[in-house]
Amino acid sequence: MKVLILGSNGMLGPWVSEALKDHHEIIETDLKEISSNSNFKKVDISNTDEVIEAAVGVDAIINLSVLRTDRVLAFNVNSKGNLNMMLAAEKHKVSRIINTGPHFQSAGPSYENFDFEINPDIPPQPGVNLYAITKALGQEICRVFTEKNPYMYLQTLLFYNFYNDSLTLGGRRNVGKPPQNKGTDLTPFSVRWEDAASAIKKALEIDLNKLPTRTETYFVFADLPHNKFSNKKAKEQLGWEPKFDLKELWDRS
């Protein structure tokens, strides 16, 4: 497939490109090019015309764009960016759309005190955090467009804390940073970058006719002992299995 990646130079972008590049034709887009980019186009996701132009002839769109802090920019990237993606998908009849975001755009503060296998099909309650509500609004825009256009299939993958090969939290590779101490308690939404990227690849390649609905959401994280949230849907529906359980961090034995 020919795949447009929006926000390819964010923290997750390079891992997704690595997972896809040998299997699909990818178009990497962002505001700035980096040395590892291939088939790069400069695209501002908040610019409608640029997103629509970048989506010409593609079979799928993956949105990895995110901005967390500045109120105006967060809205332009997290909400308007999704609008522009869906306008592009509508104009070019793109059926495969993959959106990403933090788990709390659905499972916000009202779920924090619950401790059972919370699944991704809960009623979304993002709360009032800027990051959460702008991403949640973007997700709602995607849902409305998908319901309006019967050829569209929207899959949303929700993550939170990412770990790299040295078991250090965050960053693209975190070269030179020390690993976290053994016995560290992890958020229930922790995952290795490689596993996150493989989940996106699974969502990209699934037979769309096998999806129960045209709007599906998945919680993506490692197999951890908390059992607060559930990653069963990603496993059973996408055929995804995390390769890393991060036991080196949370096991105190």
Contact present, 45 and 85 (Cβ < 8 Å): yes
**Domains defined along the chain, listed by start:** 2-250 (3.40.50.720)
Do residues 112 and 168 make contact, with C-beta atoms less than 8 angstroms apart? no
Q: Is the pLDDT of residue 253 over 90?
A: no
Higher pLDDT, 253 or 110: 110
> Which runs of consecutive H residues, i.e. helices, occur in the chain?
13-20, 48-54, 71-74, 81-92, 130-148, 193-205, 232-238, 247-250
Residue pLDDT, tens place only, 116-143: 899 999 999 999 999 999 999 999 999 9
Give pLDDT tens digits for 154-203.
999 999 999 998 888 887 667 677 888 888 889 999 999 999 999 999 99
Structure tokens at 7: 């926000």
Quote the pLDDT of residue 173. Answer: 67
Residues 38 and 76: their CA atoms lie apart, in Å, by 26
Tell me the pLDDT of the chain averaged across its residues.
94
The answer to whether residues 237 and 216 touch, using CB atoms and an 8 Å cutoff, is yes
- DSSP 8-state class, residue 94: -
Q: What is the pLDDT of residues 51-85, one digit of tens each?
A: 999 999 999 999 999 888 889 999 999 999 999 99
The arrangement of strands across the sheet holding 96-102 comes to 40-42, 25-30, 2-6, 60-63, 96-102, 153-159, 215-219
pLDDT reading at 232 higher than 90: yes
Given a contact cutoff of 8 angstroms between Cβ atoms, the answer to whether 199 and 220 are in contact is: yes
Residue 47 has pLDDT above 90, yes or no: yes
Confidence band, pLDDT 50/70/90 cuts, at residue 218: very high
3-class SS of residue 17:
helix
- pTM, to two decimals: 0.95
